[in-house]
Chains A and B, each alone.
Chain A
Amino acid sequence: MSAALDPTRTTAPFDVESIRADFPILHQDINGKPLAYLDNAASSQHPQIVIDSMSHYYERDHANVHRGVHTLSQRATDAFEAARENVRRFINARSTKEVIFVRGTTEAVNLVAASFARPGLRPGDEILISWLEHHANIVPWQLLAGQTGAVLKVIPITPAGEVDFAAFEQLIGPRTKLLALAHVSNALGTIVPVERFIAVARKHGVPVLLDGAQAIPHSKIDVQALGCDFYCFSGHKLCGPTGIGVLYGREAILEAMPPWQGGGDMILSVSFKGTTYNQLPWKFEAGTPDIAGVIGLGTAVQYLEGIGMDRIAAYEHTLLEYATERLTTIPGLRIIGTAPRKAAVISFALEGIHPHDIGTILDVEGVAIRTGHHCAMPVMEFYGVPATARASFAFYNTRAEVDRLVAALLKARDYLT
């Protein structure tokens, strides 16, 4: 077994330097300074083992999956389905039938909108989301509302950036057909106490979709314990490749849903008299899938399990606390999103300096952060800012990188104020 998947890591003290050694991309200079990659909420980086698993597949095992009796096709299929089992275990789904591979969170939400929500929606029915959502959990519902006459209702947020639970209890009602909530906000880092929301939704018989894109890299996710009906996430936010993601759905619900896209792989038999669809999960996986992406994702979740999601969460929390403390020492810096429970994401504004200038100055210092609206324009509107700067941390970041962020921000102040 490779060192990167060594299960003993789980008990050893958190050794960030040995973890960093697994990530080739981190060891380079940007503009003559060592890279400090603090844009993990946009996309995280890949350990060598993930890259190797995909190279190995291309070098040795590539063929199409679920067809053909030859050896390569069998190897590719085995690797593909083994990755599905890894993902099932990672999120504690009951069965691999509940793990549908999609392109990412965005596609997962669109799949649910088209195949689950749309067939039953009547004019005046309501879909409930929050003000915190990423555009991926807003626009599909707006499209659906436009197509069906359903109404999109939005739970407000508090100035700290928490979803207003009391307002939610007022908004949910007999016309609510679905609650679609971010588990963690990408723009602010707020951890939404989704368990409380799900409990209320249950009482009303309302199904729940969680956008887990930002939650899954930072904490142990157990879809059974959460009790949600759908959980959506993207591989590239948890050290896996881009272009691959997962829709978890409860089996009974997925069984009852019509297929989404039609084509190869999602059928058992096709004739012009009628077509029989394949079983779960393949019913929702039409066409040749992103086989390498699935294999990379399967390796990524194994890698994360090797470190331990609880240890990752604990380490990232110490980074968040340290960064919050250090950033608040910078004159004129305002942290946007101050919920008591946050993932390691810090959005901020620096008085008199536009986020775009911050982004450029930090880049010159080798510090990569995101600036802009973070695909959450309603959140920006709520705080009355066109954009924020956002530093987002992963378990391979260090306190020294936080210090470099702070130093670069002080430099930005010197330049521009």
Chain B
Amino acid sequence: MTLMDLKDLYRDVIVDHNRKPRNFGPMVAPDAHADGHNPLCGDRLTIYVSLDGDKVKEAKFEGSGCAISVASASLLTEAVKGKSVAEVDKLYGEVHELLTKRDTAPSPGLGKLAALSGVHEFPARVKCASLCWHTLNAALHPPQAAVAAPISTE
């Protein structure tokens, strides 16, 4: 059995983003937003997105939670900026892999998000890191829109 190592979970990038969350606060008139709640630990956050056509112009978040959930949300807001919705969807899938799969090297496209690669050793904390991504996904693909919008054939 390998021992759990706190340094794997609380990497410097995570600690830094928890202490000084980026893009933290409300957004006036966002193009999309959604609330996320993790009832087990009481984490709550709201993700706001402004869009420029198909591209994320800016993402912000507010709420409260543990270091992992705050840092993950902070990293998310930086990572999705300037990406198209399709690119964000791809990233969402990659982050999910990173958080749940053992022994996979972080995909190069993850950038700073690779700091979350220690989370999978702490199964109880995967939900903390993924809450913001599920919330963003809900903001960009609200259920009714998903039904109404034609599936892209591109």
**B67 touching A372, Cβ below 8 Å:** no
A341-378 interface code vs B (CB 8 A; 1 in, 0 out): 00000000000011111001101100000011100000
How far, in angstroms, from A404 to B4 measured CA to CA in the complex?
18
- Kindly state whether residue A272 has any CB partner on chain B within 8 Å: no
Count of interface residues, chain B, beta-carbon cutoff 8 Å = 23
Complex contacts, A364 vs chain B, CB 8 Å: 4-6
B42-82 interface code vs A (CB 8 A; 1 in, 0 out): 11100000000000000000001111100000000000000
Taking A357-B66, A360-B6 as known contacts, 16 extra A-B pairs with beta carbons closer than 8 A to each other, sorted by chain A number, are A32-B3, A353-B67, A354-B64, A354-B67, A356-B125, A357-B10, A357-B67, A360-B124, A363-B4, A364-B4, A371-B41, A372-B40, A372-B42, A386-B64, A415-B10, A416-B15
- Kindly state whether residue A380 has any CB partner on chain B within 8 Å: yes
* Residues 113-146 of B contacting A (Cβ, < 8 Å): 122, 124-125, 128
Complex contacts, A361 vs chain B, CB 8 Å: 6
- Kindly state whether residue A387 has any CB partner on chain B within 8 Å: yes
8 A-B pairs with least C-beta separation: A386-B42, A354-B66, A356-B66, A387-B42, A356-B41, A357-B67, A357-B66, A32-B3
Known: A360-B124, A386-B42, A386-B44. A415 touches B4 (CB 8 A): no
Q: List 27 A-B contacts (CB under 8 A).
A: A31-B3, A31-B4, A353-B67, A354-B64, A354-B65, A354-B67, A355-B41, A356-B43, A356-B68, A356-B125, A357-B67, A360-B6, A360-B122, A360-B124, A363-B4, A371-B41, A372-B40, A372-B41, A372-B42, A380-B42, A386-B41, A387-B42, A415-B6, A415-B10, A415-B15, A416-B15, A416-B18
Complex contacts, B43 vs chain A, CB 8 Å: 356, 386
- Kindly state whether residue B91 has any CB partner on chain A within 8 Å: no
* Residues 371-396 of A contacting B (Cβ, < 8 Å): 371-373, 380, 386-387
Complex contacts, A387 vs chain B, CB 8 Å: 41-42
How far, in angstroms, from A178 to B79 measured CA to CA in the complex?
56
Complex contacts, B19 vs chain A, CB 8 Å: 417
> Which bracket fits the contact residues of A?
20 to 34
How far, in angstroms, from A353 to B10 measured CA to CA in the complex?
12
How far, in angstroms, from A417 to B40 measured CA to CA in the complex?
24
Which residue on chain B has the smallest CB distance to residue A353? B67
Instruction: List residues of B whose CB falls within 8 A of some A CB.
Output: 3-6, 9-10, 15, 18-19, 40-44, 64-68, 122, 124-125, 128
Complex contacts, B122 vs chain A, CB 8 Å: 360
Which residue on chain A has the smallest CB distance to residue B64? A386
How far, in angstroms, from A416 to B65 measured CA to CA in the complex?
13
Complex contacts, B5 vs chain A, CB 8 Å: 364
Which residue on chain A has the smallest CB distance to residue B42? A386
How far, in angstroms, from A372 to B65 measured CA to CA in the complex?
12
Q: How far, in Å, is A351 (CB) from chain B's closest CB? A: 13
How far, in angstroms, from A398 to B4 measured CA to CA in the complex?
25
How far, in angstroms, from A373 to B68 measured CA to CA in the complex?
18
Complex contacts, A386 vs chain B, CB 8 Å: 41-44, 64
Q: How far, in Å, is A388 (CB) from chain B's closest CB? A: 10
Contact of B9 among A353, A360, A380 (CB under 8 A): A360
How far, in angstroms, from A354 to B6 measured CA to CA in the complex?
15
**A357 touching B68, Cβ below 8 Å:** yes
Contact of B42 among A31, A353, A357, A373 (CB under 8 A): A373
How far, in angstroms, from A156 to B66 measured CA to CA in the complex?
29
How far, in angstroms, from A417 to B122 measured CA to CA in the complex?
21
How far, in angstroms, from A356 to B68 measured CA to CA in the complex?
9
Complex contacts, B3 vs chain A, CB 8 Å: 31-32
A321-357 interface code vs B (CB 8 A; 1 in, 0 out): 0000000000000000000000000000000011111
Which residue on chain B has the smallest CB distance to residue A30? B4
Q: How far, in Å, is B151 (CB) from chain A's closest CB? A: 38
Which residue on chain A has the smallest CB distance to residue B70? A354
How far, in angstroms, from A43 to B104 measured CA to CA in the complex?
37
How far, in angstroms, from A4 to B65 measured CA to CA in the complex?
45
* Residues 143-169 of A contacting B (Cβ, < 8 Å): none
How far, in angstroms, from A279 to B42 measured CA to CA in the complex?
46
Complex contacts, A354 vs chain B, CB 8 Å: 41, 64-67
Complex contacts, A417 vs chain B, CB 8 Å: 19
Complex contacts, B18 vs chain A, CB 8 Å: 416
How far, in angstroms, from A284 to B67 measured CA to CA in the complex?
48
Q: How far, in Å, is A11 (CB) from chain B's closest CB? A: 44
Q: How far, in Å, is A335 (CB) from chain B's closest CB? A: 19
Which residue on chain A has the smallest CB distance to residue B125? A360
Complex contacts, A380 vs chain B, CB 8 Å: 42
How far, in angstroms, from A371 to B128 measured CA to CA in the complex?
14
How far, in angstroms, from A279 to B32 measured CA to CA in the complex?
64
With most chain B CB atoms within 10 A of its CB, the pick from A353, A360, A371, A373 is: A360
How far, in angstroms, from A320 to B135 measured CA to CA in the complex?
41
Complex contacts, A371 vs chain B, CB 8 Å: 41
